[in-house]
Amino acid sequence: MDLSRKLLEVNKDIEFSPVQNKGVLKYMPKTDAGFRVSPIIVPLHSALKECAEFENNSEFLLVNRLGEFHSRTSYRRLWEKSSAK
């Protein structure tokens, strides 16, 4: 995430293990379409800037308070909470 240039780069993938309830980093997305650079729109930029202050210096956008990947369950709850707004 480059907040100064307002760009979001996607170049990795998180996969949830069917056996465990935690995310595992995959260094390559499944397809070439998984690699992308997207502009950050103004309303999102403000929110990301605020979040970046609390993100434990992680290079990843969605991590828990400890800087670790969310579990499948916590990610689902986070998504449900944000889509309900």
Instruction: Please give the backbone phi and psi of residue 41, each rounded to the nearest 5 degrees, phi first.
Output: -70, 155
pTM of the model: 0.55
Q: What is the C-alpha to C-alpha distance for residues 37 and 18, in angstroms, rounded to an integer?
A: 29
The pLDDT assigned to 53 comes to: 61
Please provide residue 16's backbone torsions phi and psi, each rounded to the nearest 5 degrees: -90, 125
Q: Distances from the Cα of 49 to the Cαs of 2, 33, 53, 58, in angstroms? A: 10, 26, 7, 14
The pLDDT averaged over each successive group of 10 residues in the chain (85 residues) is 83 80 79 86 80 63 78 84 74
Single-letter amino acid, residue 69: F
> What is the C-alpha to C-alpha distance for residues 14 and 24, in angstroms, rounded to an integer?
5
